[in-house]
Amino acid sequence: MPRVLLVEDEPAIADTLVYALETECFDVVHALTGTDALAAAGREAFDFAILDIGLPDMTGLDVCRRLRETSPIPILFLTARDGEVDRILGLELGGDDYVTKPFSPREIVARVRAVLRRSQTRAPLPQASENPQVLHHDPAAMRVHCHGEPLDLTAHEYKLLLVLLGKPGRVFTRDQLLENAWQDPGAVTDRTIDAHVKSIRAKLRAVRVGAEDLIQTRRGLGYLLSL
Give Cα separations from 71 to 42, 75, 155, 227 (angstroms).
11, 11, 39, 26
Q: With contact defined as beta carbons under 8 Å apart, do 208 and 131 qualify?
A: no
Query: Cβ of residue 218: shortest distance to Ca ion, in angstroms?
Result: 29
CA–CA distance, 47 with 178 (Å, rounded to integer): 38
Using omega within 30 degrees of 0 as the cis cutoff, is the peptide bond preceding 102 cis?
yes
Closest CA to 150 of 139, 167, 136, 130: 136
Closest CA to 161 of 203, 221, 133, 219: 203
State the Rg of the chain over Cα.
Answer: 19
Nearer residue to Ca ion within complex by CB, 9 or 24: 9
Nearer residue to Ca ion within complex by CB, 54 or 90: 54
Query: Cβ of residue 80: shortest distance to Ca ion, in angstroms?
Result: 7
Query: Cβ of residue 64: shortest distance to Ca ion, in angstroms?
Result: 15
Secondary structure of residue 154 in the 3-state scheme: coil
Nearer residue to Ca ion within complex by CB, 63 or 93: 63
Nearer residue to Ca ion within complex by CB, 9 or 47: 9
Nearer residue to Ca ion within complex by CB, 59 or 216: 59
Query: Cβ of residue 20: shortest distance to Ca ion, in angstroms?
Result: 18
Give me the residues paired with residue 52 across strands: 78
Query: Cβ of residue 14: shortest distance to Ca ion, in angstroms?
Result: 10
The H or E element that residue 37 is part of is helix 34-43
Query: Cβ of residue 54: shortest distance to Ca ion, in angstroms?
Result: 4
**What torsion, rounded to 10 degrees, do the Cα atoms 219, 224, 225, 227 define?**
-70
Query: Cβ of residue 98: shortest distance to Ca ion, in angstroms?
Result: 14
Nearer residue to Ca ion within complex by CB, 52 or 213: 52
* Sign of the alpha-carbon torsion through 2, 126, 174, 193: negative
Nearer residue to Ca ion within complex by CB, 9 or 190: 9
Residues that bind Ca ion (CB under 5 A): 9, 52, 54
